[in-house]
Chain A
Amino acid sequence: MNTLIALKDLENDLETPEVHYYSVIIEGESNSEFEKFLQSHNANQEIKEEYNDLLAWIRDKLGTRGAKKRYFRHEMKAEALPPGSKYLEIEYDKQLRLYVIRISDHVVILLNGGIKTTKVAQKCPNVSRHFRLANQIAEKIDQAFKNKEIELGEDLKNLMFDKNFRLRL
């Protein structure tokens, strides 16, 4: 059975000068993937510093400088706009990972993540499912761009899509 996923605009909750943030909601769930990430990690004292630095990085650094490729864990090959969306990781030394999809310098989709305990994300019990989901969503978003179901706004600073649009995994 297909899983339906809706894009959620986070502008009302997380407005920044340079980056328009989005997340996704899996059909039947009430919280977005990014909200689930926050709920899972906000009370974990072991990663308190990493968690708070990560939030400050998202809002203050990326939000002010723009979501430049170099600020993410994986450098991807150059792409034309609209870009091929790729999953990326924002990392911190103590293995806290947040998976995101960077559409451009101004559009980022924040997903879920966790504390990575193995060298390879695919083998980690904490992050493998988030890693897989991020990859699947990135692929579907690419297709949606090609089908013109999602488009970048004129100023390339937001996504345009029908309110009933769903990604089908």
Chain B
Amino acid sequence: MKKESIIKKAFSQIPDENRIFIKRLDEISERIMSILDFREWTQKDLAKKMGKSPSEINKWLNSPHNLTLKTISKLESTLQTPIINVPKTFNVENDDDNIVTNFTLIQTSTEVPREEEEVENIDFKEPRGKKENRMREYVTANG
């Protein structure tokens, strides 16, 4: 039997979590690039607005860099547009929603971010009622 090549073997052993990490980074980076295009900002403009160096922004967007949730939040705040969306529901019947090991990278899109997605339309400051009521709503909504 022919021995598997060193290279084939190495690439076949990449754990899913590492491939998911690179895929997510790619999606975030492409999303930021699209928003920059839409706003007609350069990476330098973004760096200036965030008080960061252009090389740091370049590193975030173009290398396997571990972006923290804090950094993503700062980016969303500066860009005034969401970068990541977490599904609000878990639909066990829709397999497509639940497969994280689909490694196909999305194509770059320069489509205009939709108005209703703007961060400024999301009210972070005003809670929708007392904590107990919100908890009750959660319990009701989740059975």
The chain A residues found within 8 Å of chain B, CB to CB, are 10, 12-14, 31, 34-35, 38-39, 42, 49, 52-57, 59-61, 64-65, 70-71, 73, 91-93
Tell me if B78 is interfacial: C-beta within 8 Å of chain A.
Answer: no
Whether B26 pairs with A53 at a CB distance below 8 angstroms is: no
Question: Which of B7, B25, B26, B63 sits near A10, CB closer than 8 Å?
Answer: B7
Give bound CA distance, A138 to B66, whole Å.
30
Closest to B18 in A: A52
- Among the 9-residue stretches B8-16, B124-132, B133-141, the one with 4 or more Cβ atoms under 8 Å from chain A is B8-16
Q: What does DSSP make chain A's interface, helix, strand, loop or mixed?
A: helix
Ordered by A's residue number, 14 sampled pairs between the chains whose C-beta atoms are within 8 Å are A10-B7, A12-B5, A13-B7, A13-B8, A34-B7, A35-B7, A39-B6, A53-B22, A53-B64, A56-B22, A57-B64, A71-B62, A91-B63, A92-B64
Whether B64 pairs with A54 at a CB distance below 8 angstroms is: yes
> Inside 8 A of A73's CB, which chain B residues have their CB?
63
> Inside 8 A of B10's CB, which chain A residues have their CB?
38, 42, 55
> Inside 8 A of A54's CB, which chain B residues have their CB?
64
Closest to B43 in A: A70
> Inside 8 A of B62's CB, which chain A residues have their CB?
70-71
Interface centre among A31, A53, A93 (most CB of B within 10 A): A53
Interface centre among B19, B25, B65 (most CB of A within 10 A): B19
Question: Which of B5, B18, B61, B105 sits near A53, CB closer than 8 Å?
Answer: B18
With A54-B64, A92-B64 as known contacts, state yes or no: A60 contacts B22, CB within 8 Å: yes
Tell me if B58 is interfacial: C-beta within 8 Å of chain A.
Answer: yes
Whether A56 pairs with B58 at a CB distance below 8 angstroms is: no
Closest to A55 in B: B14
